[in-house]
Chain A
Amino acid sequence: MELSRETLDRFVDGELPPKEMERVAEMLAAHPDMNAYVQRQEHLRGELRARFGELDCQVPLRLIEAVRTAPVSWQWRFRTWRERNLTVRRLVPAGAALLLGLVAGVAVRPQADLGANAAGQLVAQGALGRTLDTALASAGAGQIGISFRDKAGRDCRTFSKGESAGLACHQAGTWVVETLARRTVEDDGAAYRMAGSEMPDAVRQAVTASIEGAPYDARAEAQARDRGWSGR
């Protein structure tokens, strides 16, 4: 036998490269012993495939039912559920929408009337800050009550806004809110101008405690504004 049994086995199993397959096939014609071996092996392989292949006709229903109904790993169920619902495809639009909302919210939202400075003091800012900076009670600006100098030499003003009223004093370029109180219902009827009698008690008491001298008259108020509320 010129070819090894291993080569002939590979030939029978179709495991030789195409060129080799052809070469062996040609050699078999001239070598009856090798040819007989190959025929026996092909017969064996053919019989195995044929007899076991016939079994395919008889797959029992219980096996098909087992595939259809056998319980499935809950870990697999959970993982699949998670993958389906938390896919990138679903998360990206949601994430983008959230980010857009945040950006738009920060950009568009007007600054609140009250905030805090680095020292943790409550400060008037936004529209209220601008009103305190520029409006003159003497010119009829609704939200401003009285303006005065306090014992520390700061320019201070009382204000009202919506349901709140308070006292703010100008300090280091900002209006520090010294007192903030809730306005009562009766105060609403008094519109915006807040003379001493219309102030909530807490604000009036704060003014009384801190004022030095008398409130500014119209001229002093305008002068203080023009000085940038720099106080004494």
Chain B
Amino acid sequence: MICNDRQACFTASLLISAQLEEKPPAAVMQSEMDPLDPIRGQMIALLPRLRRFAIALTGSVADGDDLVQDTVERALRNLHQWDAGTRLDSWMFRIARNRFIDGRRSARREGAVMMDAPEEAGNAAMDGERAMLSRMTLEDLNAAMKKLPVEQREAVALVLIDGASYREAADLLEVPIGTLTSRIARARESLAAAIGE
């Protein structure tokens, strides 16, 4: 499915899932509504952003989706730890990031080989001219992202991909804003080099 409008696209996928749902979306009295419903609704609306973030972190769609599923399950299981006065998106992004970092740590402890930077032929050889003129593929970008240290990757995911402000990203990652901007600057250099610009 090729879609230019993100929201329309995601709405379409929600409609499909609504058809699959057994329970009819009957109008329920406000007082009888499960207080969890609005939160689940917010989480579903958050899925596309969370997914982009997770795929940018892990460098693969499959791993990213697994990370999102893990994040959702963990968020609901620990929902009491979420302060309802704070942003649900920041809290869930933070869970996703911590799960990802924990996962890497335990993989390293177990002696697994980190396959972070697969040198795929073609990507590195892409010349600047082509990069400027043609669309890059997600695989090109993911390959370039995977060469970045995690701190730079998450900064790029939040600011360049998700469109967060420096302030929002710095708060979410719990680093000073100067640290965030220098990470992005270094990531920009590396990405430009990796995709041949």
Known: A53-B6, A55-B52. A40 touches B80 (CB 8 A): no
Contact residue among A5, A47, A52, A79 (Cβ-Cβ distance under 8 Å from B55): A52
C-beta contact mask, B23-50 vs A, less than 8 Å → 1, else 0?
A: 0000000000001100010011001100
Known: A48-B161, A54-B3, A71-B76. A60 touches B188 (CB 8 A): no
Q: How many A-B residue pairs have CB under 8 A?
A: 141
Across-interface contacts of A60 in B (CB, < 8 A): 65
Across-interface contacts of A68 in B (CB, < 8 A): 21, 40, 44
Determine how close the nearest CB of chain B comes to the CB of A6; give it in whole angstroms: 7
Is residue A67 contacting chain B, with contact meaning CB distance below 8 A? yes
Interface positions, chain A 22-39, Cβ under 8 Å from B, are none
Determine how close the nearest CB of chain A comes to the CB of B16; give it in whole angstroms: 7
Residue with the highest number of chain A CB atoms closer than 10 Å, among B36, B65, B185, B188: B188
Across-interface contacts of B7 in A (CB, < 8 A): 56
B1–A57 touching, CB < 8 Å: yes
Contact residue among B40, B138, B195 (Cβ-Cβ distance under 8 Å from A44): B195
A47–B1 touching, CB < 8 Å: no
Known: A15-B165, A49-B161, A64-B17. A56 touches B6 (CB 8 A): yes
Determine how close the nearest CB of chain A comes to the CB of B17; give it in whole angstroms: 5
Is residue B126 contacting chain A, with contact meaning CB distance below 8 A? no
A49–B163 touching, CB < 8 Å: yes
A6–B47 touching, CB < 8 Å: no
Is residue A58 contacting chain B, with contact meaning CB distance below 8 A? yes
Is residue A73 contacting chain B, with contact meaning CB distance below 8 A? yes
Interface residues on B, range: 35 or more
Interface positions, chain A 46-100, Cβ under 8 Å from B, are 47-68, 70-73, 75-76, 79-80, 84
Is residue A9 contacting chain B, with contact meaning CB distance below 8 A? yes
Determine how close the nearest CB of chain A comes to the CB of B46; give it in whole angstroms: 9
Determine how close the nearest CB of chain B comes to the CB of A39; give it in whole angstroms: 8
Residue with the highest number of chain A CB atoms closer than 10 Å, among B20, B43, B156, B185: B43
Complex Cα–Cα for A76 and B191 (A): 43
24 contacts across the A-B interface (CB closer than 8 A): A43-B131, A44-B195, A47-B141, A49-B160, A49-B163, A52-B52, A52-B161, A53-B52, A55-B55, A55-B138, A56-B9, A59-B48, A61-B13, A63-B51, A64-B17, A64-B47, A68-B40, A71-B73, A72-B77, A73-B77, A73-B80, A73-B81, A76-B79, A76-B80
| 19 extra A-B contacts, CB within 8 A, seeds A9-B188, A48-B141, A56-B3 | A9-B185, A44-B188, A45-B160, A55-B51, A55-B55, A56-B10, A56-B48, A57-B9, A58-B1, A63-B47, A64-B13, A65-B17, A66-B69, A67-B44, A68-B44, A71-B76, A72-B77, A72-B79, A73-B78
